[in-house]
Amino acid sequence: MLLRKEDHPTAEQVLARVRRRLPHVSLGTVYRNLDKLVRCGRVTRVPGGEGRMHFDARTDHHCHARCAKCGRVVDVELEVGQEMTEQARQCSGFRVTGASLVFEGLCPDCAAEDWKTSKPKERG
Ligand SMILES: [Zn+2]
Ligand SMILES: [Zn+2]
């Protein structure tokens, strides 16, 4: 399996992993294989920043947080409540069957880096 449950690589990152064993694999091949897995329901897509797509080996509805700086995506164990689901239903007219939110911000590493590099007067 190319994807571990806990990570959310982009197609490029999957390619880098595959190339360690199969150096001549192209990005197109990786995309086609990932698309196949998505269609089979074995992998889901998570929208990332700047039109990037991350791939997720978890296929249940769950939330994510994306780092605006390094682009890393992690799982967020958070239930989307009944109230929110109901609001989504009212706004869209959809029969809502699930939700997956993507939160944005800085991951702990980038937040620490940001803290170190920011000028003292900018610190809140
Ligand atoms: Zn980060
Ligand atoms: Zn996930």
pLDDT at position 52 is: 87
What is the percent of the chain where pLDDT is above 90? 69
User: What ligand has the least distance to the C-alpha of 56?
Assistant: 2
Total of domains in the chain: 2
Surrounding residues of ion ligand 1, Cβ less than 5 A: 67, 69-70, 107, 110
Enter the tokens of residue 108.
Answer: 């702990």
pTM for the whole thing? 0.79
User: What ligand has the least distance to the C-alpha of 69?
Assistant: 1
Q: What is the pLDDT of residues 36-51, one digit of tens each?
A: 999 999 999 998 888 8
Distance 51 CA to ligand 1 centre (A): 17
Inform me whether the pLDDT recorded for 123 exceeds 80.
no
Q: Select the more confidently predicted residue: 98 or 112.
A: 112
Same domain, 38 and 1: yes
Full domain range(s) for residue 106: 61-124
Same domain, 75 and 108: yes
Distance 3 CA to ligand 2 centre (A): 11
Burial 99-121 (b: 16+ CB within 10 A, else e): ebeeeeebbeebeeeeeeeeeee
